[in-house]
Chain A
Amino acid sequence: EPEVTQTPSHQVTQMGQEVILRCVPISNHLYFYWYRQILGQKVEFLVSFYNNEISEKSEIFDDQFSVERPDGSNFTLKIRSTKLEDSAMYFCASGWNSPLHFGNGTRLTVT
């Protein structure tokens, strides 16, 4: 069964640094998402992406965040200047006519 893959599995970065989280969605899917899960809290929606543009974003997804689909296969989440509170598990998901398929997640630790 095809899978959504995310790299790296764990990223440690210093506060203020830029990070790029990478995802390879399932190839025939058209909708792409980023979710995050702060330790001990619920899974939160960040952004959805369709037809090469953001279709919806949450209040969490501020100017520090951006998404790109640079080459038709990767789907990246960039955090421009990380803050301590950005430490979380970030999940990429892709879907087409539901349900969503999730990646293994990238654990981001901001120190």
Chain B
Amino acid sequence: AQRVTQPEKLLSVFKGAPVELKCNYSYSGSPELFWYVQYSRQRLQLLLRHISRESIKGFTADLNKGETSFHLKKPFAQEEDSAMYYCALRGRDDKIIFGKGTRLHILP
């Protein structure tokens, strides 16, 4: 079964501290993995995708096929990083499956 698991509903991190948002997936085959971010009252935005290996707003994520994980990381949290983060998987049928989301709260 296709599934995306984000084990943390809420993650509170002090400004300047490292951030890691966990994402594990279940999929038979080679999925595409994404991170989407939703700032307060705004649309979902693509943060990054594993194919491009870009670093956006200081965030990176590495696809680990052995651990079926795609954790989102940032070395130094900033207050503007406070948002809802969704890990997502795109399978063969083109459907996007979202995790339940993790609310990242950056403490001053």
Cβ of B57 within 8 Å of any chain A Cβ, yes or no, is no
Q: Knowing A43-B86, A56-B93 touch, does A102 contact B98 (C-beta < 8 A)?
A: no
Whether the Cβ atoms of B43 and A91 lie closer than 8 Å is: yes
In the A-B complex, the 3 residue pairs with the closest CB atoms:
A42-B100, A102-B44, A43-B98
Cβ of B46 within 8 Å of any chain A Cβ, yes or no, is yes
The contact size tier of chain A is: 20 to 34
Chain A residues numbered 70-111 whose CB sits less than 8 Å from any CB in chain B: 91, 93, 95, 98-105
The contact size tier of chain B is: 20 to 34
Cβ of A65 within 8 Å of any chain B Cβ, yes or no, is no
Chain B residues numbered 68-90 whose CB sits less than 8 Å from any CB in chain A: 86, 90
Cβ of B28 within 8 Å of any chain A Cβ, yes or no, is no
Q: Which of B42, B44, B46 makes the CB contact (< 8 A) with A43?
A: B44
Chain A residues numbered 53-77 whose CB sits less than 8 Å from any CB in chain B: 55-56
17 A-B contacts, Cβ less than 8 Å apart? Answer: A31-B94, A35-B98, A41-B100, A42-B99, A43-B86, A43-B98, A44-B98, A55-B94, A56-B93, A98-B94, A99-B46, A100-B46, A100-B96, A102-B36, A102-B43, A102-B45, A103-B43
* Contacting residues, chain A, for B99 (C-beta < 8 A): 42
